Amino acid sequence: MLPVVRELEAQYAQRVDFQVLDYYSDGTKPLLAQYAVRGHPTFVILARDGTPSPPIFGVIPKDQLVAQLEAALA
């Protein structure tokens, strides 16, 4: 999924701040727990007010990820 995320990162550069966390790093464990990340890939989209979406688990089609981003931006 990383190539898709990088493509969307370029496409939404002015509107969305993408963060990729290292699932295996001890430094990210608190964030992984906070956002209920249980595996990878997991996507959590934060609204402008910081409210997280329900996690999206696993490999998903690009158009579904775009739809989630667009919904959060609306």
Instruction: Kindly state the DSSP code that residue 58 receives in the 8-state scheme.
Output: S
Residue 63 pLDDT exceeds 90:
yes
Tell me: the pLDDT tens digits for 6-52?
A: 999 999 998 999 988 888 889 999 999 998 888 889 999 988 888 88
Task: Give the pLDDT confidence score for residue 30 in this predicted structure.
Answer: 93
Residue 66 in this model has a pLDDT that exceeds 90: yes
Would you state the pLDDT for residue 72?
87
- Give the CA distances from residue 19 to residues 28, 46, 55, 67, in Å, rounded to whole numbers and listed in that order: 12, 11, 14, 18
pLDDT given at position 41 = 92
Mean pLDDT of 54-69: 92
